[in-house]
Structures are given as structure tokens and as C-alpha cells.
Structure 1
Amino acid sequence: MEPQQNALSSEGVSQCLKLLSDPTRLLMMKLLADKEYCVCELTAIFDMSQPGISQHLRKLKNAGLVRERREGQWRYYAIHPSGPEYTLVRSILRQIDEKDGVLQTLRLKEVTVSCR
């Protein structure tokens, strides 16, 4: 049997699952899979402090799951579309039902948020 292209080690899969086992990070990744968000938008959507959101984003960024873009004083985050973890993460995120109550509540909050 040939190894899968971009296959992860057991340690890599374990680390990815560990990061996504946190409900906030899991839902954050679900949102980031669709579009880029500013830290202040995520703060309002998740009703969390900026340091709390930044801590989650730092863990995701350090693991290579999200990318950061700076624009002036603002920092924007999106899912990182490359690397071996991308396929695993997308597969996991597809398992979340779009009708999930928590996800729908977060998506409703995002409509009312503006950083500028």
C-alpha cells in the first residue's frame, strides 16, 4: 500500500485533533474556512476578550492552520490553504452541520460586526 500524498504522521494528526477539540477553535476554523476575519470581528462574534481570541489564533497560527495578514493596525486571519493539515481540517469542518444552532448564532452575529 502506497502512502497517501500529504499524509500526516500520527503525531501530526493528534496535534491537529487536539487543537480542534476546543469548541471555540473548531467553530473559529469553520468561520475562517469561508472568509477572512479581523481579530475585532472574532472578538464580537465569540463575545470574548481580544487577548482570549488572540490566544486561540496564535495556537492555530503556530500549528500552520491559519494565516495572518496585516493591514495597518488590523490583523486578518483565514484558514491556511496549503500544507498537509489542510485536507484533514477541511474534512473535519465538513462534518459540522450548517444548521448547527451555535454555528448559526455565530453567523448571525458576524452580520452586525464592523471594525472600521
Structure 2
Amino acid sequence: MIEIQRASQLLKLLGDPTRLTMLKLLESHDCCVCEFVAIFEMSQPAISQHLRRLRDLELVTETRRGQWIFYSLNREHGEYPFVQRILDLLPGQEASILDLESRGLRICCE
């Protein structure tokens, strides 16, 4: 069971469409900042701010691969089941990943 105050904090964070979509994407694919920049057509600083907020609540984790940092959904997070229930209600984002691959941007960080 999750406390009301904590649920409110998580829901505020997930109330932003960009952050919510990021988590849905991370549900099935690790991504780096440059991939999010291409998907959302936003600046790198704006994407980094969204990721910082997700990191601050430890909903995402970082893994360094060479010079790149990849983000993934933190399935070990204490409130992951709460977040997962929300993500389960959302449409898949596979088309965004396929679009990146078709434009040759999915592999730019490897």
C-alpha cells in the first residue's frame, strides 16, 4: 500500500505528458538523452530536466556506456507496482522507437 502523500507526489510527477511518455518508453527500451531529444523534438536541456526529476524520485536508473548515459525504468523502486499499474493503462510507444530506427537515430549512441 502506498501513502496518500507519496501517491500525490508521484502523480504530480507523472502528470506531465513528457515524463509519463518517457516512462512508458523505458518500460520496454533503454534510451539515452539524444534519443529522447529526437522523439520529443525538444532541446537537450529540457529533456535533461525531465530526466532529472525522474531520477530525483529514483524512478529511472542510469547506466554509462562509453560516453553515453542510458536510462531505464527502475523496477526495484518501492512504488514500482503503483507506477506499473498506471503504465499498463497507457498505449504502447513502440512506434516512436521504430521511427527512431527508421531514421537511423536509434543507434547513434551505441
What 5-or-longer segments of structure 2 have no aligned partner? none
TM-score (norm 1): 0.83
Equivalent residue, structure 1, for 2:51: 57
CA contact (8 A) 1:65 1:79 kept: yes
Q: C-alpha displacement at 1:34, in angstroms?
A: 0.5
Q: Corresponding residue for 1:22?
A: 16
Q: 2:79 — aligned with what?
A: 85
SS of alignment partner, residue 110 of structure 1: helix
Q: What is the number of equivalent residue pairs in this alignment?
A: 106
After superposition, where does 1:1-116 map in structure 2 within 5 Å? 7-98=1-92, 103=93, 106-111=96-101, 112=103, 113=105, 114-116=107-109
Q: CA offsets, 1:47-92, max 9 Å, x none?
A: 1111111100000011010001112221100000112221011100
Instruction: Give the TM-score, by structure 2 length.
Output: 0.87
- The separation in 1 between residues aligned to 2:68 and 2:94, in whole angstroms, is 26
Q: Which amino acid aligns with 2:36?
A: L
Task: Give, as a single letter, the amino acid of the residue that structure 2 aligns with 1:109.
Answer: D
> In 2, distance between residues paired with 1:95 and 1:42?
22
| Sequence identity (%) | 45
Residue 15 of structure 1, CA deviation: 0.8
Unmatched 5+ residue regions in structure 1? 1-6
Question: For 1:38 and 1:8, how far apart are their aligned partners in 2?
Answer: 30
Higher gyration radius (CA): 1
Aligned-residue RMSD, C-alpha: 1.5
